[in-house]
Amino acid sequence: MRPAKLSILALLAFCALLHTGCASVFFSTVNIQPVTIVADDDDEYDFYVNGVLKCENTSECTVYRSTYGRCKMSIEASRDGVILGSEKYGYWHEPSFIEQMFRDKDDDEKEKKCPEGFFSGAQAVVRIDQEIKERVNAAREKAWREGPNASWDTSPLSPGSGE
């Protein structure tokens, strides 16, 4: 082969690889869906998705998920290690054998993307148990109030420490 033909073939191969790489990056970003997680009382919590901590001490958490698999997320909101609310978000109903026979392929494709509102996009709202939240807040406040007194009692400048 002549050197000119070889360099043209090498250039074409390079362009094909470059194009394929760009296409795969493009398609991988197309198949990513952001899901915003909020609590129903707009307070700040630690948010766990499928048992993994995603956001700490925030009122709104955005997670990104791949749309290659079914949208099925278990979300928990906690404070001080206590779970105050949980939500099963997505498509948790497993179709029976009979239902699967009559399902369209479009139904399976729809369930790969999380449900979206008309203006809001995909948003999961976690309901918070207000009674448990009040108990956790009371314990937090009690620990905060007793914290300085407990450290004062152990201070070398506290009354009776000179004995």
Query: How many angstroms separate the CA atoms of 11 and 4, rounded?
Result: 11
What is the model's pLDDT at position 109?
66
Cα angle 83, 84, 85 (rounded to 5 degrees) comes to 100
94-115 per-position pLDDT tens digit: 778 787 777 776 666 666 788 7
- Is residue 74 pLDDT above 90, yes or no? yes
The per-residue pLDDT for 92 is 78
Q: What is the pLDDT of residue 25?
A: 44
Residue showing tokens 């919590």? 45
Residue 143: is its pLDDT beyond 90? no
List C-alpha distances in Å: 131 to 37, 128, 135, 136. Answer: 21, 9, 6, 9
